[in-house]
Structure 1
């Protein structure tokens, strides 16, 4: 279906809406949650965008398929961009070369902002999603609690390039921006999106299928450190607050559920909830240890009538490895967010159980209880 037709189909009467959101990276775990929340808000219209056409789980969403690395690709959608008032930017292209990663991602954002400016879009605010890498977590232990005004580490870091690019455009065009820094985001979509709920749910299902204990698949150190997570739906609500609150202009905020946990307690709670046996941590690398489980997953897909997907594309095992082998505390300071008036809070245990339940309901993982 053509973009113009989709936009016409989903536009609400002019008098009932005042804001139009462009969600960049809309098929990811963050973008998906933001789109779905905005669809419930009567004074917003929303358009999703990503490099490819909308996936099946985003069917019905007005969509712009554009390669942000190619300015001409965006130019073809000028009409869809001309009345955008708010941007939620969750796009990311990884690269092993961190300097190249920084250059490439900054160029993508610059191309988008050029496209919006060229279309004459009346931008009010751009919300840019960052993550723990902004504090250098990918390089090793950091000082905790992590605070928004912590100094930058030695670059390259693509988040720095994105932030500087955005700040420059906003200064030139009179726009405003906000930066949101969630930790591990828990959502209810499948695929290789950085979604830990999918990793845990799939791993639990395979443990049940093989009748083996649901052992924590990480290091002993990782089992005991302080951790935090961010409910994708909570992040979506905070995102709309950050996009509209005057106090949030030009500010960065850590965003987590507000509680802390250790896997040794949370893993036990999950096992109890699903009636699974556990044991001591099993220090494996999921990306290697689960590589031979493709035929098993195919059989489970047929037996439980799951949504068909290539095993290699279904579960982000490597993301699970990074989380489960983290050997140092991950704690963000939420004081600034609270003082500025945003008080969203959620239990991470409840969030994980909810998201895994939604993944089961969508037939992305098998049932975990008899």
Structure 2
């Protein structure tokens, strides 16, 4: 059986982790993204810089492939401002067309046997209303327009025609090292801490309301994709994914201040979606003085500063309804990987500093914790 996986959206949070996971598992990897993914593995892989919205470009690139046995589809199109786009029919149509542009040529020329697709807790309507606790994969589909449903229905129909298996993963808040993406809070925290240090401000928790959440390390998602690809007995199923514990951002804040060696501050609600872009010149100065990569504030943040406000509870007057999911199904199927969420965030902040995207933490001369 051929073991060649094509990973669409390979420069994103899940895509780059999937590249690492499949390389580590001994697969041949074709990474598809407009910019080459930055990964941890030193093993070689093929990179195809393809615009997934361009049907002709996709047909030319993917129609020429004859060895792809598996697809991990981790690409997503998000409009500026992020959250409003989740209910935008145009955004839904673009996301459907993108996956079609990948799958159609692959099913014509390659021995495609399995597709992994990403959803999330919006599948349970968490962005629209309180959800059942815990959310379980067996619950009926939440009745609202969603890119997820258009993509899932297409994959199910295409699987019936072409004879491949599929899995749909529903991760919660994803933690990883990627910059310039839609929803990664880790670089937002690192940039905010660097600005606080540079300006002599306390590293204050920027939200109004703290409440318990779940997160998942992107390495866990990549490994889950590789696990499912090799296990036919778990095909054609949905699986929730979490680190295996709950946490709150506010309760993590003192540990993050300690790890980043930045002066802690009293809680001070602040819209990072507004504040961070206003400090673009300060960031440029940090980049120059610290010898960092010449990445601008927008190049690092992508749309993640908008999702950070929501995650930190900025603007909330009361805690939202809980939004926890069950991972009993995936554990019962044999995938039992877990991560310490605080350690996960520390790990990825370290990776970003080692890559010279964030400054190395420097102990604050006064008021820093030990």
- TM-score normalized by structure 2? 0.88
The answer as to 2:25 corresponding to 1:32 is no
The answer as to 2:97 corresponding to 1:77 is no
CA distance in 1, matches of 2:288, 2:77: 33
CA distance in 2, matches of 1:63, 1:23: 10
State the partner residue of 1:12: none
CA distance in 2, matches of 1:82, 1:61: 16
State the partner residue of 1:341: 334
Q: CA deviation at 1:111?
A: 2.2
Q: CA deviation at 1:150?
A: 2.5
State the partner residue of 1:166: 155
Q: Which runs of 4+ in 1 moved over 6 A?
A: 56-60
Q: CA deviation at 1:270?
A: 1.5
The answer as to 2:28 corresponding to 1:45 is yes
Out of 75, 82, 104, which is 1:114 matched to?
104
Q: CA deviation at 1:41?
A: 2.5
Secondary structure at 1:143 match in 2:
coil
Q: CA deviation at 1:27?
A: 0.7
Q: CA deviation at 1:143?
A: 2.4
State the partner residue of 2:367: none
Going from structure 1 to structure 2, the CA distance change for 1:144 and 1:34 (only over 3 Å counts) comes to: same
| 8 A Cα contact 2:243 2:338, kept in partner | yes
State the partner residue of 1:324: 312
| 8 A Cα contact 2:115 2:167, kept in partner | yes
Q: CA deviation at 1:79?
A: 5.9
User: Equivalences for 1:1-370 in 2 at 5 Å?
Assistant: 18-42=2-26, 44-50=27-33, 52-54=34-36, 61-78=45-62, 80-95=64-79, 96=85, 98-119=88-109, 121-220=110-209, 223=210, 225-315=211-301, 316-325=304-313, 327-328=319-320, 329-370=322-363
Q: CA deviation at 1:211?
A: 1.8
Stretch moving more, 355-364 or 207-216: 207-216
Q: Deviations over 1:219-266 (max 9, x none)?
A: 22xx2x111111111211111112221232110001111111122321
| 8 A Cα contact 1:208 1:368, kept in partner | no
Stretch moving more, 344-353 or 323-332: 323-332
Structure 2: runs of 5+ lacking an equivalent = 80-84, 364-370
CA distance in 1, matches of 2:94, 2:344: 34
Q: Deviations over 1:283-318 (max 9, x none)?
A: 221111222211110000011111111222212311
Secondary structure at 1:300 match in 2:
helix
Stretch moving more, 72-81 or 179-188: 72-81
RMSD: 2.1
Secondary structure at 1:137 match in 2:
coil
| 8 A Cα contact 1:84 1:123, kept in partner | yes
Q: CA deviation at 1:152?
A: 2.5
| 8 A Cα contact 2:19 2:39, kept in partner | no
Structure 1: runs of 5+ lacking an equivalent = 1-16
Going from structure 1 to structure 2, the CA distance change for 1:138 and 1:181 (only over 3 Å counts) comes to: same
Secondary structure at 2:270 match in 1:
coil
CA distance in 2, matches of 1:55, 1:252: 27
| 8 A Cα contact 2:352 2:358, kept in partner | yes
Secondary structure at 1:180 match in 2:
strand
| 8 A Cα contact 1:204 1:368, kept in partner | no
Q: Deviations over 1:66-85 (max 9, x none)?
A: 23333211221246532100
CA distance in 2, matches of 1:282, 1:141: 27
Stretch moving more, 170-179 or 183-192: 183-192
